[in-house]
Structure 1
Amino acid sequence: MMTTLLALDLGTQTGWSLLHHDGIIASGTLSFKNDRYQGGGMRYLRFCRWLDEMKALAGGNLAEVYFEEVRRHLGVDAAHAYGGFLATLTAWCEKESIPYQGVSVGTIKHHATGKGNASKQEVLASVRAKGYQPQDDNEADALALLEWARMQQVCH
């Protein structure tokens, strides 16, 4: 039996992929954009509720969570949002006693394409060549990360 894994490309537009213990993979993207009537922290509360839903979807047995570890952001707002999602995710994992691991962008790109500096389009094309149909680069990154995580499971 396989382990249930969740892979995330954190951000306002979060990409996700879930490997269920029966081998089925589900993936998608979810927007955590606030509207003008919501306080700044609402996106993180919605993210936390969504994590609860993902755990339930995994039958309450989520073995590990992997996330794309971003060290450089294009803007201050993106950096702040990422930091908030990362803090929310790691606190949630600690509360739920679920192991988590960040994986560098270069590692994910190298695994997906063979080059650590691949473009978003190259990662998207590589993921599609493996038979997935991601909606955008966020979902493609989450699927590439999930594939990397699966390889780590096999090797250990």
Structure 2
Amino acid sequence: MTNQNLPAEGWNEKRVLLALDLGSQTGWAVRHPDGNITSGTLAFKNNRFEGGGMRYLRFRQWLDELNALVGGVGAVAVEEVRRHAGVDAAHVYGGFLAVVTSWCEARGIPYQGVPVGTIKKHATGKGNASKAQVIHAMKRLGFKPEDDNQADALALLHWAIAQEVGL
């Protein structure tokens, strides 16, 4: 799932990098051009009075707001999940993935999916690390993740920075 609009070398020092752990509770992390990192989580659950697509509209709106706030996202890394706990989780993930990839394509922003095991191995040394181990690894780096979604986004961001994989 890699967009082929790859930027020239040197993007890493100047462009904003966004890392996403997609789901109803989405984890996000941003590396700003000055090197500072911000992160958090956002809930995109539907309430009982909304149609099924409202969570995706709110997610797209958040992407637009974040893009404006940071002066333009330069690249996006997404946790690439291959197995889900259930059908509903798979559908929700697929919806968020479709939104973020189409959002990137419409703006010419390069994006890349990164397998969960790759992220965990980079963060902890173990590709099958537990959620608690990833949280602990991010705390060792000085972060205070609220939950595993934020920790996963931070771990993904650190992988993307370290790899400089043409994001």
Runs of 4+ aligned residues of structure 1 deviating over 6 Å after TM superposition are: none
1:53 is displaced (CA, Å) by 1.1
Instruction: Supply the AA of the counterpart residue of 1:33.
Output: K
Give the SS at the match of 2:34: coil
1:7 to 2:19 alignment:
yes
Query: Following the alignment from structure 2 to structure 1, what is the Cα–Cα distance between the partners of residues 160 and 14?
Result: 12
1:132 is displaced (CA, Å) by 0.4
Give the SS at the match of 1:63: strand
For the aligned residues, what is the CA RMSD?
Answer: 1.5
State the match for 1:129 in structure 2: 140
1:59 to 2:66 alignment:
no
1:106 to 2:117 alignment:
yes
Of 31, 38, 41 in structure 2, the residue corresponding to residue 26 of structure 1 is: 38
1:25 is displaced (CA, Å) by 0.7
1:56 is displaced (CA, Å) by 1.1
1:48 to 2:60 alignment:
yes
Q: How big is each residue's C-alpha offset from its partner over 1:42-72, in whole Å with a ceiling of 9 and x where there is no partner?
A: 0000000000011112212x11000000000
Of 58, 80, 95 in structure 2, the residue corresponding to residue 69 of structure 1 is: 80
Could you list the runs of 5+ residues in structure 1 that have no partner in the other structure? none
Question: Could you tell me the TM-score, scaled by structure 1's length?
Answer: 0.96
Give the SS at the match of 2:79: strand
Alignment of 1:58-97 (within 5 A): 58-60=70-72, 62-97=73-108
Query: Following the alignment from structure 1 to structure 2, what is the Cα–Cα distance between the partners of residues 124 and 2?
Result: 28
Of 111, 128, 131 in structure 2, the residue corresponding to residue 117 of structure 1 is: 128
1:3 is displaced (CA, Å) by 2.6
Give the SS at the match of 1:102: strand
Query: Following the alignment from structure 2 to structure 1, what is the Cα–Cα distance between the partners of residues 165 and 78?
Result: 19
State the match for 2:9 in structure 1: none
Could you list the runs of 5+ residues in structure 2 that have no partner in the other structure? 1-12
Query: Following the alignment from structure 2 to structure 1, what is the Cα–Cα distance between the partners of residues 154 and 143?
Result: 8
Question: Could you tell me the TM-score, scaled by structure 2's length?
Answer: 0.90
Query: Following the alignment from structure 2 to structure 1, what is the Cα–Cα distance between the partners of residues 119 and 64?
Result: 26
Query: Following the alignment from structure 2 to structure 1, what is the Cα–Cα distance between the partners of residues 69 and 142?
Result: 23
Q: 1:154 to 1:107 in 2, by over 3 A?
A: closer
Report % sequence identity: 65
Query: Following the alignment from structure 1 to structure 2, what is the Cα–Cα distance between the partners of residues 13 and 150?
Result: 23
